[in-house]
Chain A
Amino acid sequence: MAFIEIKNLLKRYGKVVAVNHIDLEVKQGEMLTLLGPSGCGKTTTLRCIAGLEKPEDGDIVIDGRSMLAEGFVQPSDRGIGMVFQNYAVWPHMKVFNNVAYGLKFQKIPKRTIRERSLQVLEMVGLGGLEDRYPGQLSGGQQQRVALARALVRNPKVLLLDEPLSNLDAKLREKMRFEIKSLVRRMGMTAVYVTHDQAEAMVISDRIVVMDSGNVVQIGTAQDIYQTPANRFVADFIGAMNFISGEVLTAAPETDSTYVKTEFNETLLCKTPAGMLLRQGDRVFASIRPEDVEIFSERPEEKSENLIKGTIAHKAYLGNFLFFFVTVNGHTIRVQVAHYIPLEEGADIYISLNPQKCMVLV
Chain B
Amino acid sequence: MTRGNVSLTAFLWSVIAFLVIYPLSVLVIESFKIAGSTGWGLANYLGFFKDTYYLKTFWNTLVLSTLVLLTTTLFGVPLAYILARYRHRGKTVFTALILLPIVLPAFAGVFAFIIFFGKFGTLNLILMESGLIKAPINFIYGTHGLVFIQSLHLLPFIVLSLSAGFTNIDPAFEEAAEVEGASGFWRFITVTLPLCTPSYLAGAVIVFLWPFTDWLTPLILGKVDFLPSVAYINIAYHFTDMHRKYMGIVAVVVSSVVCIVLFVLARRWVERKKYTGLSKGTTSEGRVIEPGPVIKYGSYLYMLAISFVVLLIPIVLGLSAFSRRWVFEPFPTYWTLDNFRAIFFESPLLIKNSFLFSGIALVFGVVFGLMAAYVIVRTRIWGTNALDFVITLMLAFPGMAVGVSYMLAFWKDIPLATHWIIMPLALFARRLPYFLRMAHSSYLQLDISLEEASEVSGVGKFKTFFYISLPLLIKGVLVGVVMFFIMAFQEISTAIFLYRGGWETLPIGIYLNWHRGMEFGIAAAMAFLMIVITFILLLIISRIGGGIMKAAWGPGPGGKR
Question: Taking beta carbons and an 8 Å cutoff, which residues of A are in contact with B?
Answer: 50-52, 54, 74-82, 84-86, 88-92, 101-102, 105-106, 146, 149-150, 153, 159
Contacts and interface: CB of A to CB of B under 8 A. Distances in A.
A78 B460 CA distance: 11
Interface in B127-182: none
Interface stretch (B17-25, B296-304, B369-377, B450-458): B450-458
A81 B458 CA distance: 9
Given A76-B461, A86-B447, A92-B471, 14 more contacts: A51-B455, A52-B455, A75-B456, A76-B458, A76-B459, A84-B452, A90-B450, A90-B454, A101-B457, A105-B457, A105-B458, A105-B459, A149-B457, A159-B456
4 tightest Cβ-Cβ pairs between the two chains A and B:
A102-B457, A88-B449, A88-B453, A75-B455
B460 A90 contact: no
Given A88-B447, A91-B472, A92-B472, A80 B459 contact: no
A207 B463 CA distance: 37
A159 B456 CA distance: 10
A84 B449 contact: yes
A62 to B, nearest CB: 13
Contacts of A84: 449, 452-453
Given A84-B453, A92-B471, A102 B458 contact: yes
Given A86-B447, A90-B472, A92-B471, A76 B460 contact: yes
A288 to B, nearest CB: 36
B136 to A, nearest CB: 61
Nearest to B471: A92
A76 B472 contact: no
A76 B455 contact: yes
A101 B456 contact: no
A51 B454 CA distance: 13
Contacts of A52: 452, 455-456
Interface string B273-289: 00000000000000000
Contacts, number: 69
B324 to A, nearest CB: 53
A153 B458 contact: yes
B456 A78 contact: yes
Nearest to B454: A101
A51 B311 CA distance: 58
Contacts of A89: 453
A112 B129 CA distance: 85
Given A86-B449, A92-B472, A80 B454 contact: no
Contacts of B468: 90
B452 A105 contact: no
Interface residues of B, number: 19
B376 to A, nearest CB: 19
A90 B463 contact: no
A198 to B, nearest CB: 25
Nearest to B460: A76
B340 to A, nearest CB: 43
Contacts of A85: 449
A106 B452 CA distance: 18
Contacts of B457: 76, 81, 101-102, 105, 149, 153
A99 to B, nearest CB: 10
Interface in B399-433: none
30 contacts: A50-B452, A52-B452, A75-B452, A75-B456, A76-B457, A76-B458, A76-B461, A80-B456, A82-B452, A85-B449, A86-B447, A88-B447, A88-B450, A88-B452, A89-B453, A90-B450, A90-B454, A90-B468, A90-B472, A92-B471, A92-B472, A101-B454, A101-B459, A101-B467, A105-B458, A105-B459, A106-B458, A149-B457, A150-B456, A159-B456
Given A82-B453, A84-B449, A88-B450, A102 B459 contact: yes
A84 B447 CA distance: 11
Contact of A149 (B1, B453, B461, B471): B453
A188 to B, nearest CB: 14
A81 B472 CA distance: 22
Contacts of A91: 472
A54 B472 CA distance: 26
A92 B468 CA distance: 8
Nearest to B467: A101
Contacts of B449: 84-86, 88
Interface string B437-455: 0000000000101101111
A102 B456 CA distance: 9
Contacts of A106: 458
Contacts of A102: 457-459
A79 B467 CA distance: 20
Nearest to B451: A88
A186 to B, nearest CB: 17
Contacts of A153: 457-458
Contacts of A101: 454, 457, 459, 467
Query: Which of A50, A51, A88 has its CB near the most chain B CB atoms (within 10 A)?
Result: A88
A54 B461 CA distance: 15
B467 to A, nearest CB: 8
Contacts of B460: 74, 76
B456 A76 contact: yes
Nearest to B455: A75
Nearest to A80: B456
A106 B461 CA distance: 15
Given A90-B472, A92-B471, A92-B472, A81 B456 contact: yes
A106 B468 CA distance: 17
Contacts of B458: 76-77, 79, 102, 105-106, 153
B561 to A, nearest CB: 15
Contacts of A50: 452, 456
B466 to A, nearest CB: 12
Interface in B481-524: none
A117 to B, nearest CB: 12
Contacts of A149: 453, 457
A286 to B, nearest CB: 37
Nearest to A153: B458
A159 B449 CA distance: 14
Nearest to A91: B472
A84 B449 CA distance: 7
A86 B456 CA distance: 15
A124 to B, nearest CB: 16
B473 to A, nearest CB: 10
A120 B458 CA distance: 17
Contacts of B453: 82, 84, 88-90, 146, 149
A81 B457 CA distance: 6
Nearest to B468: A90
A149 B468 CA distance: 15
Interface string B233-258: 00000000000000000000000000
Contacts of A54: 1
Contacts of A75: 452, 455-456
B442 to A, nearest CB: 13
A79 B463 CA distance: 17
A37 B1 CA distance: 29
B475 to A, nearest CB: 10
